[in-house]
Amino acid sequence: MNNWKLIPHSYQIADTGDYDGHYEITDGKITLYVKDDDNEEPLQKVVDALNNSGCKFEVDDSAKWELEAVKRENQRLWTLLQNHKITPDEYDF
C-alpha cells in the first residue's frame, strides 16, 4: 500500500500581510512540489490516485549511473593519453 500525503506549506510574504505557499506530495521517499497553493481538491485526487494505483514507486537514480559512466570514460581517456605519453600541457587542454 502506498502512503502518499498532501502537505500544504504557507508563509508570509515580507511584511505585506500576504501569504504564499505550495503543496508537497510525498510518500517519505519521493517528494513532488507544486507551486500553486490553492488547488487542494484536485491535488488530493492525484494523491488518491497514487495511493490506489498499486504501483511501486522508486527514486530515479539514472543520473548516478550516468555520472559513473562519465567517470569511467574519463579514466579510459586519461589512460590513453598517458599510454601515448601525451600531457595536457602540450596540447593546451
d(CA 67, CA 75): 12
Alpha carbons within 13 A on the beta-carbon side of 35 = 0
d(CA 58, CA 12): 34
Q: What nine digits make up the cell of 68?
A: 559513473
Q: Domain segments of the chain: what residues? A: 5-52, 60-93
> What's at 80, amino acid-wise?
L
> What's at 82, amino acid-wise?
Q
pLDDT digits (tens, 9 = 90+) for 7-41: 999 888 878 888 888 999 999 989 999 987 667 89
> What is the pTM (predicted TM-score) of this model?
0.57
d(CA 72, CA 77): 9
pLDDT digits (tens, 9 = 90+) for 56-80: 888 888 888 899 999 999 999 999 9
